Amino acid sequence: MTTTIKINGPIISSDDKWIYDYFEREATCPRDVVDILPSDGSAIEVNINSGGGLVDSGNEIYTALKAYPGQVIVNVTGMAASAASIIAMAGDTVKISPVAQIMIHNVQNGIIGDYRDMSKNSDLLQQANDALANAYVLKTGLSKEDILTKMNEETYLNADQAVALGFADEILFTEQQTPQLIASEVNNMLPQDVINSIRKQHNQKPPTKVEVSVQALKPIIKQAIDELNIKPKEEVPKTNHVYGSFLI
């Protein structure tokens, strides 16, 4: 049985989830995912439509899915942006809707301080970018330099581009199923041995027709009557009438 996990709305902390629930706002926190992972290692299917959110929460969900021992299938159904795109990279197989997108960009934050604080924060942001890039590199096989360039440019990928670059493995709804011929005990086909037997009999020559005259049959009939101790009837004069299948 496959367990379905939905990742919709902003990616938030588990501590804040109750507030979103209170206002009936859709959001996803790490606890929403971790708490429903099967204990038996059975397959899971993760459906993503999220614009992203907190990096730490996204990383926690990514790590939990990546460490999960069973098969992880990710379906990008709408948008997988920012932190949500990191989560998508945890899939063993990533499928994307033909109308969906994946977006990657640099980590952002807001601080107050002097130039020293700003310089330090710049280093922290670049370090965070470098760390997140590892998830994209691991999935796509692209170089880290290439990934970091795409993050700098805030890159949006449609379904075709995502598959071409390795961010997704296939596009949903485009697989062609080839009809397969199957044989089973419930179909109406004759067993092959019956067909072979009938064909063999059909190919045999018909028996040769043997012409037997009445005169030749008389002693045979008489002998049969004698053996049965049946007194023969008076011989019937020859006529042109037909009795049975004999012409007499």
Q: What is the CATH number of domain 3-171?
A: 3.90.226.10
Q: What is the pLDDT of residues 152-162, one digit of tens each?
A: 999 999 999 99
Token reading at 193: 């041995």
Q: Give 175's pLDDT tier (boundaries 50, 70, 90).
A: low
What is the sign of the dihedral through the CA atoms of 107, 108, 109 and 111? positive
- Average pLDDT of the segment spanning 39-55: 96
| DSSP of 184-212 | -TTS-PPPHHHHHHHHHHHHSPPPPP---
Does residue 16 carry a pLDDT above 90? yes
Beta strands in the chain (DSSP E): 3-8, 44-50, 72-81, 93-96, 101-104, 155-157, 170-171, 242-243, 246-247
Q: What is the pLDDT of residues 123-166, one digit of tens each?
A: 999 999 999 999 999 999 999 999 999 999 999 999 999 999 99
Higher pLDDT, 63 or 191: 63
| DSSP of 225-238 | HHHTT-PPPPPPPP
What is the residue extent of each domain of the chain?
A: 3-171
pLDDT for position 98: 97
Q: Give 67's pLDDT tier (boundaries 50, 70, 90).
A: very high
Does residue 87 carry a pLDDT above 70? yes
pLDDT for position 183: 45
Of 84-88, 201-205, 223-227, 232-236, the range with the lowest mean pLDDT is: 232-236
Q: Give 121's pLDDT tier (boundaries 50, 70, 90).
A: very high
229: region left, alpha or beta (phi > 0 left; psi from -120 to 50 alpha): left
Q: What is the pLDDT of residues 211-241, one digit of tens each?
A: 666 677 677 777 777 766 555 555 545 544 4
Higher pLDDT, 49 or 181: 49
Token reading at 70: 């069973």
Does residue 177 carry a pLDDT above 50? no
pLDDT for position 218: 73
Does residue 71 carry a pLDDT above 90? yes
pLDDT for position 215: 74
- Stated pTM of the model: 0.70
Most confident among 13-22, 176-185, 195-204 (mean pLDDT) = 13-22
